[in-house]
Structure 1
Amino acid sequence: MSAEWQGYGGEQRLGGNILTADGWLLGDIVWRDGVITAIEGEPVDPGTNDRDIILPGFIDLHVHGGGGADLMEGGESLATLACAHVRFGTTSLLGTSMTATRETLETALADAGRIMRAPPVDGADLLGIHLEGPFINPDRLGAQPPHARAGTLAEFDVLDALAPIRVVTLAPEIDGHTALIAALSERGVRVQIGHSAADYGCCCAALTAGASGFTHLYNAMSGLHHRDAGVVGAALAHADYCEMIADLIHVEMGALLAARRAISNLYAVTDATAAAGMPDGEYRLGEQRVYKCGETVRLADGALAGSALTMDRALRNLVSLGLSVAEASAWLSTRPARYLGLSDRGELAVGRRADLVCLSPRLEVHCVQVAGRQIALHKAPCQGNGDS
């Protein structure tokens, strides 16, 4: 039985198995003006009935593209990807850049900033930018184009003025980056270690300087060896928060479960490209051409290049490994919200935003609410509203 949405005047409600901050309730969640005003019901095991499951909306902190659009194209691309991902339950996201020339980055972020000031009505909430490169190691590019360079606070300030940067991925072993980590951390920017060949000691120094996370754990970083722990070893030993691509392709089951055991606030991201939500074919990722075939996205040489993952599939993947729906929801909502310091979302509780995703017992998306606004799931990806 599906959840039933009802609206009466300014009050709206949705019924089903509701995952609250205090556990599962069978009943109704009520909101007005985009804010949850009540959650009514009785404790329940959601496996004992066929009602829909209501979770906090998914929060994706690493999204390059979707719906055929890539952030680095500029124009309306951020609006298009926001509207593509919301149909799969993502209610908030960070648009994520690629390593590029300074001119290309400035153009892309200027257009992204314009979209953030006048966001699409039917898209996910735009939290800001995840700057993944160019401050990375040229020997650990992964699918990033060859424009890596040492970071400076001056270049960061220019880009941040165009669109608010919330997360920066960098390689701590690059000269000058320890000081840059400290400066960015003091401003409240989340600095993540990634695309890096750093050794364990360098990573520990970066964490001491203010680094707070790791970008797509295991991928494009120095791996774990018992006499050379590398970036992976530092993450497993010391990370509080850490992102992981939950497509079960970038990271296989055993490695994912090992990280789950070691890192208390591991959270899922998609690292999605323009191919997310689209048929097989050729797409753009920064200045690269990538190819979607089934569940993978690759460069012409066969190397993995981002993903076609959506957050609802990430949820199903995690549950398939034995995580409960409640724990998987924490990976997708609660932990990323806490990592960014977002106190108004990530859990379903009175006073929080009415960001909801309603799923069938098979974890298929039935409806999505962004700040209490119901999203048309089968509508084509939207464009910006044209305002400046």
Structure 2
Amino acid sequence: MTNQNNSSTITQYCNCYLLRNHNIIKDDLWVRDGVILDPKIIFFDEKTSADIQIDCHGAIISPGFIDVQCNDLLKRVPEVTRQLLPHGVTSLCPTVITLPRQHYAKIIPQIQRKPGGPDGTGILGLHLEGPFINPEKKGAHPAEHILQPVNGISDLFSIYGNIDHAAIVTIAPEIPGSMEIIRELTSKGIVVSLARQQ
């Protein structure tokens, strides 16, 4: 049988392990155009077979991990992205924690989104964690640098500046001015993480 019903290439990954129903099982993985296929449909309905077979030699095939809180890497981004890839981390969000306010304008422009590839993990965008958190639930954040955004979104921009490369912003929803910020960020497609540390 050949792939006559669809001009796209079907790849069959053989001799591999897959995560299915919370168990790791040995099975083949069939893929066409980046979509996982049901091999029964390929065989019985389309009456075709794989164009390419790849022996995985017993490797596990799984979705890549995403690290959404990757601290202390801002000066070592290329090195860290190279080191994380072999461990299954395919994307990350470098995290900027609560800092003295003058540091944000220096750090934020340095980190930009980038696709992943064989040389390292991709950068989905920054995770801006602080300074807009509740001082009573600050965790390890330094209390002297925590701020209240009483003027809403204008306070956020005065601290962060440009947030075009932000993917996640952590903010305490109960502090004054936070709801306006949350609405504005979500309208821009930025994920808002609710700060509730102990």
CA contact (8 A) 1:129 1:163 kept: no
Which gives a bigger RCO, structure 1 or 2 (Cα 8 Å, sep 6+)?
Answer: 1
Aligned equivalent of 1:62: 69
CA distance in 1, matches of 2:155, 2:117: 29
Task: Determine if contact 2:156/2:181 at 8 Å carries over to the other structure.
Answer: no
Within the candidate set 120, 129, 134, 1:132 is matched to 129
Within 5 Å, which residues of 2 pair with 1:1-388? 14-15=13-14, 16-19=16-19, 26-29=27-30, 36=34, 51-65=58-72, 70-71=73-74, 75=75, 77-113=76-112, 116=113, 122-146=119-143, 147-151=145-149, 152-157=152-157, 159=160, 161=162, 163-194=164-195, 196=196, 220-221=197-198
Partner SS for 1:131: strand
Matched residue, 1:232: none
Q: 1:163 to 1:106 in 2, by over 3 A?
A: farther
Partners of 2:114 and 2:124 within 8 A in 1: no
Instruction: Note if contact 1:29-1:36 (Cα within 8 Å) is conserved in structure 2.
Output: no
Amino acid at match of 1:154: S
Q: CA deviation at 1:155?
A: 4.6
Deviation at 1:78?
A: 2.4
Offset at residue 125 of structure 1 (A):
1.2
Q: Deviations over 1:251-299 (max 9, x none)?
A: xxxxxxxxxxxxxxxxxxxxxxxxxxxxxxxxxxxxxxxxxxxxxxxxx
* 1:326-373 Cα distance to aligned partner (Å, 9 max, x none): xxxxxxxxxxxxxxxxxxxxxxxxxxxxxxxxxxxxxxxxxxxxxxxx
Q: In 2, Cα distance between the equivalents of 1:96 and 1:87?
A: 21
For residue 126 of structure 1, report the CA deviation from its aligned partner: 0.8
- Code of the residue aligned with 1:175 in structure 2: it is P
8 Å contact from structure 1 (residues 181, 191) kept in 2? yes
Structure 1 unaligned blocks of 5 or more: 1-9, 43-49, 197-219, 222-388
Q: Distance in 2 between matches of 1:163 and 1:78?
A: 18
Query: How much is the aligned-residue C-alpha RMSD, in angstroms?
Result: 3.4
CA deviation after TM superposition for structure 1 residue 89, in Å? 0.6
Could you state the TM-score of these two structures normalised by the residue count of structure 1?
Answer: 0.37
Q: 1:35-85, CA deviations, whole angstroms, 9 ceiling, x for partnerless residues?
A: 63665868xxxxxxx9332111112222114xxxx22xxx4x222222222
* Secondary structure at 1:107 match in 2: helix
Higher gyration radius (CA): 2
Cα separation, 1, equivalents of 2:83 and 2:70 = 11
In structure 2, C-alpha distance between the alignment counterparts of 1:122 and 1:90, rounded to whole Å: 12
Q: Where does residue 46 of structure 1 map in the other structure? A: none
Offset at residue 120 of structure 1 (A)? 7.7
The secondary structure found in structure 1 opposite 2:107 is helix
Is the CA contact (8 Å cut-off) linking 1:26 and 1:41 kept in structure 2?
no
- CA positional deviation for 1:108: 1.4
How far the C-alpha of 1:189 sits from its partner, in A, is 1.9
Give the conservation status (yes or no) of the 8 Å contact 2:17–2:27: yes
Conserved? CA contact 1:79–1:120, under 8 Å: no
Structure 2 residues not aligned, in runs of 5+: 1-8, 41-56
Q: Quick one: which amino acid aligns to residue 182 of structure 1? A: R
Give the distance between the partners of 1:26 and 1:153, measured in 2 at CA: 51
In the alignment, the residues of structure 2 paired with residue 89 and residue 174 of structure 1 have an alpha-carbon distance, to the nearest angstrom, of 37
